[in-house]
A and B are shown apart, each in its own frame.
Chain A
Amino acid sequence: MPKPIEFSVNGKNVSVSLDNEDTPLLDVLRNELGLVGTRFGCGLEQCGCCMVLIDGAPEKCCTKPTSSVAGKRITTVEGLGDAEHPHPLQRAFLDEQAGQCGYCLAGILISAKALLDKSPSPSLAEIAQALDGNICRCGSHNRIMRAVEKAAAAMRAGAAR
């Protein structure tokens, strides 16, 4: 019996036993933990659909061995908020209708969260830079960047209250 790997996902402790400890974190999230919000796009760490926060830093997890995240804190898009309690980013993405197919959005929301965590007032150029690790093929880029700006403003206003 393989040794369980323990880490936290969206604030909850989880423990998984894997025959293959190199199983990518993405596969564990989707297939073992039922968290399908993080999407598979390439399996090559190129497109950013699988972006999650690992101890607060944005990382692509489609080839990341699950054993490497033992003891770490993982945040996925499901951890940002839900329909009842949306994160300001999620609210802004809906306000701006920032998406077409929406497949890339989970990863983009995570990259944007990481940006706003360290830089609450990013310029448009900084937002674009922060999202360059994510591919959007439908061409929703401008809406997405507007939504991130809007969320940043909302979060600053919230913090000031």
Chain B
Amino acid sequence: MNAPLPGPLSDNPNLDRWVSFPSPGKVMVLTGRVELGQGVLTAMAQIAADELDVAMDRITIRSGDTEKAPNEGYTAGSQSIQFGGVALRQACADVRALFLNQAAKLVGCNANELSFRNGSIYRNGKSTGQDYWTLSGTVDLGVKATGAGDRKAVADLNNIGTSSARVDLPGKVFGESAFIHDMHLDGMMHARVVRQPNRGATIGSIDENAIRRAAKGPIEFVRNGNFLAIVGDNETAVEAAGASAARNVSWDNVEAPTPTQQEANWLLQKPVVERAFGAPDGGNPKNRERYEATYTRGYLAHASISPSCGLAVYRDGMLTVWTHCQGVYPLRAALAKALKLEPSSIIVQHMQGSGCYGHNGADDAAADAAIIAMQKPGQPIRVRWRREEEFIYEPKTPAMVVKVRALLDDDGKPVDWTQEIWSPTHNLRPGAGGNLLGAIALPNPLPEPPPNDVPEANGGGATRNAEPLYNIPAKRILHHLVTETPVRVSALRGLGAMPNVFALECCIDELAERAHRDPVEYRLSITADARAKAVIEKVAAMAKWNADARGGTGRGRGIAFARYKNRAAYAAVVVELSVDEDIQLHRVWCATDAGLVVNPDGVINQLEGGIIQSASWVLKEQVRFDNGVASFDWETYPVLKFSEVPEIEIELINTKDEAPLGVGEVTAGPTAAAIGNAVSHALGARIRDLPLTRERIMAALLRG
């Protein structure tokens, strides 16, 4: 009896959905996981190379294609390696076993006498003359995976565990056509959408003359209900017209977000759906000391370096769409619903975009192109959002209020922990019922989905990492799921994990301080998980943590820890910084345990990226509202610059016998909290609201 197949493989059991041998010497590996800038294709190639016993350079990877590749839902949640990689490993192991069995029949021996070397089959060190390609005509990969192929032992892995160079990087360094933005279809026309400001807003008037004057070249208008686009052969003209149209089309029924709504505390007065998890509230019968603190974070933008892009053509009843979204199959289903087509008459193919950290405008740009293509059959359409459009209309990650209440024992350790959260949903992806932006402007749009969030079984949305991993006898989460938002919200790197870890790890520091204990020692004293202890001890050693370092000197250090979703990778982070009017980050140390590491340098790259992006969120970022979204370019939404980035030192605790765990999101929470704790150490005063702006630093100093 074989072990159950890994989830994605049991969802897509046919082996030819994963591996094929298209021409002599070549292997095609298919994966549902898409490249978002995180290096997943390289890691998948390493996995396939090991389990198939072929050299990396024989492998071509195809990903995110509704015609060919497996349906693995979304590339999200740091799950690609943990689930998709394990599925691919098993598929490759099954394929290898099928070929060995076939070769054994031909050679007339037992399969266990045979082995592969770079795709060729050997018996007792001698070539059998057979290989994947001589046998591929006789081995049917249309069969279902059984799990009968043995995955290799860790000691036999050659590629997994090495820092293979990224397969996609050379093209990007040499300026080749590498991104969806660089795609060119014959006869393609460019398009820009005149965005409907909000659901229900209707077009008042269109100053066509002004828009045409601004275009300085031929353009046409395409309209369906309140969906309005400008199309033309010349991108320069279309871009200028798009910018002009944003000001020369008037809208009725506009609901513009206000400055009050930009603050997290606005959520406290809004309608909610109540959700509760964990231990029942036992009150405080022993009259224990109670500690309570509230933390907030505002709305954040993805602010991907390039605006979203999508291409589409509708020809002979088939709609073909190219997109840099995270899930081609869910997008296909959403397009089918919005455009009233059968999914079988839509092909969605992934192309690389710029860095993607969650549900950004990619799906919407693809839908824009599809809507226009449907209006102009046979005509290939390329939509690229404008920078301002990207900032204003991409789904934001929601603001959150997190209130922590702890009951303490006589040693000042928590025995009862309540994490109370006010947050809208973190998931309005098309696959979760969220609407495609352009489709809302069409006649008779689909309704909004009922209020919901990512199920706790999948790690939760607003509740992600709300439960401390520490030894606390009673832990509970209260989630006030806010059902009204001033702007569209959805998933961004880590979802609720960053605000939750910021709150709970700052609170742990506050409790340590209250008990006159060192924050590292205090954490260790309430940690039972050996892997958690190991990363905390490791990072303390790396940073030469000094328990007696004096606070309030303007220079400070902070530590924080989390296990992402309490079931993925572990990370502990120490930050050193100084504060005068602003915060200067000096150094960051990070220790991570991500189980079996496929590509150490790739993992370190992701961890560094997570640290820097989180630092940017914490120091600088909040989406402002002022009669609309007032963060619409890089000056109104600044991010961390080269001269502001700290030195970073990372060590991996490579627990090879543990399952591989994704790392894209694990550092976001600990980095935010370590910065918060370091600022408190430097100032001798606590700031509990993000971002840590100059105004908040001044206010904290005045409070003392």
Chain A contacts for B236, CB-based, 8 A? 20, 23-24, 27, 31
Are A105 and B634 within 8 A (Cβ)? no
The verdict on B363 contacting chain A, using a C-beta distance below 8 Å, is: no
Closest Cβ of chain B to A121, distance in Å, is 18
Given contacts A94-B170, A109-B173, contact A128 B642 (CB under 8 A): yes
Question: How many residues of chain B get a CB closer than 8 Å to chain A's CBs?
Answer: 61
Complex-state Cα separation, A77 to B217, whole angstroms: 29
Q: Is the CB of B639 within 8 A of A134?
A: no
Question: Which residues of A have CB within 8 Å of B554?
Answer: none
Residue B601 CB within 8 A of the other chain: yes
Contact A102 B165 (CB under 8 A): no
Q: How many A-B residue pairs have CB under 8 A?
A: 175
What is the chain A residue whose CB lies nearest that of B179? A103
Chain A residues whose C-beta falls within 8 Å of the C-beta of B279 in the assembled complex: none
Q: Are A139 and B305 in contact (CB under 8 A)?
A: no
A122 contacts partner chain B, Cβ-Cβ < 8 Å:
no
Determine if B36 is an interface residue (Cβ-Cβ < 8 Å): yes
A106 CB to nearest chain B CB (Å): 5
Question: Which residues of A sit under 8 angstroms from B645, Cβ to Cβ?
Answer: 128, 139, 141-142
> Contact: B173 with A90, CB < 8 Å?
yes
With CB as the reference atom, state the residue of chain B lying closest to A104. Answer: B305
A39-73 interface bits toward B, Cβ cutoff 8 Å, 1 = contact, 0 = none? 11111101101000000000000000000000000
B548 to chain A minimum Cβ distance, whole angstroms, is 30
Q: A78-B174, A82-B174, A103-B179 are in contact. Are A42 and B611 (CB under 8 A)?
A: no
Number of contact residues on A: which range applies?
35 or more
Per a CB cutoff under 8 Å, which of A31, A83, A97, A137 touches B601?
A97
A132 to B601 CA separation, bound complex (whole angstroms): 25
In chain A between 3 and 43, which residues have their CB closer than 8 angstroms to a CB of chain B? 19-20, 22-24, 27, 30-31, 35-43
B255 within 8 A of partner (CB): no
- A135 partner, pick from B177, B182, B305, B648, beta carbons under 8 A: B305
**Contact (Cβ within 8 A) A102 B178:** yes
A40 x B608 contact (CB < 8 A): no
> Is the beta-carbon distance between A139 and B611 smaller than 8 angstroms?
yes
- Asked whether, in the complex, the Cβ of A100 is within 8 Å of the Cβ of B355, the reply is yes
Q: How far is the CB of B190 from chain A (nearest CB, A)?
A: 9
B368 contacts the other chain (Cβ, under 8 Å)?
no
A44, A80, A83: the one within 8 Å of B634 (CB): A44
Name B179's contact: one of A39, A42, A109, A144 (CB within 8 Å): A39
Is A119 on the interface with B (CB-CB < 8 A)?
Answer: no
B605 proximity list for chain A (CB < 8 A): 97, 100, 140, 143
A138 to B354, CA, bound (A): 9
Using known A-B contacts A35-B175, A99-B169, determine if residue A40 contacts B384 with beta carbons closer than 8 Å: yes
The answer to whether B305 and A43 have CB atoms under 8 Å apart is no
Closest Cβ–Cβ distance, residue A149 to chain B (whole Å)? 13
Q: Among the listed A39, A76, A131, A134, which residue makes an inter-chain contact with B181, where contact means beta carbons less than 8 Å apart?
A: A39
With A99-B173, A134-B642, A137-B355 known as contacts, the answer to whether A40 contacts B166 (CB < 8 A) is no
Chain B: which residue is nearest A110 at the CB level? B175
B residues less than 8 Å from A106 (CB atoms): 172, 175
A39-B181, A136-B305, A141-B612 given; A44·B633 CB < 8 A: yes
CA distance A5 to B9 in the complex (A): 57
B647 and A142 within 8 A (CB):
yes
- Specify which chain B residues have a CB less than 8 angstroms from the CB of A136 in the assembled complex: 305, 642
Known: A40-B306, A94-B165, A128-B642. A143 touches B608 (CB 8 A): yes
Cβ < 8 Å to B, chain A residues 90-121: 90, 93-94, 97, 99-106, 109
Chain A nearest Cβ from B92, distance in angstroms: 25
CB distance from B381 to the nearest CB of A (A): 16
Which residue of A is nearest B614, CB measured? A139
Chain B residues numbered 34-48 whose CB sits less than 8 Å from any CB in chain A: 36-39
Check if A74 is an interface residue, CB within 8 A of chain B. Answer: no
Contact flags (1/0) for B368-399 with A, using CB distance below 8 Å?
A: 00000000000000001011000000000000
Determine the distance from Cα of A100 to Cα of B613 in the docked complex, in whole angstroms. 13
- Which of A86, A127, A137 has a CB less than 8 Å from the CB of B304? A137
- What residues of chain B lie closer than 8 Å to A30, measured between beta carbons? 182
B165 engages A97 (CB within 8 Å): yes
Chain A residues lying within 8 Å of B124, measured Cβ to Cβ, are: none
Chain B residues with CB under 8 Å of A152's CB are none
The answer to whether B235 and A102 touch across the interface, beta carbons within 8 angstroms, is no
Minimum CB–CB distance from A59 to chain B (whole Å) comes to 17
> Which of A93, A127, A142 gathers the greatest number of chain B CB atoms within 10 Å?
A142
Which A-B residue pairs are the 10 nearest by beta carbons?
A: A37-B175, A101-B37, A102-B172, A139-B612, A139-B609, A77-B175, A101-B355, A103-B354, A36-B182, A128-B643
A and B contact pairs by CB, cutoff 8 A, 20 listed: A20-B216, A37-B176, A39-B306, A41-B305, A42-B387, A43-B387, A47-B634, A49-B306, A83-B174, A94-B169, A99-B173, A100-B606, A101-B36, A125-B643, A135-B639, A137-B613, A139-B609, A139-B616, A140-B608, A142-B608
Residue numbers of A with Cβ under 8 A of B are 19-20, 22-24, 27, 30-31, 35-44, 46-47, 49, 76-78, 80-83, 86, 90, 93-94, 97, 99-106, 109, 125, 127-129, 131-132, 134-145
Apart from A90-B174, A93-B169, A103-B354, what 5 extra A-B contacts exist at CB < 8 Å? A27-B239, A40-B181, A99-B169, A103-B172, A145-B642
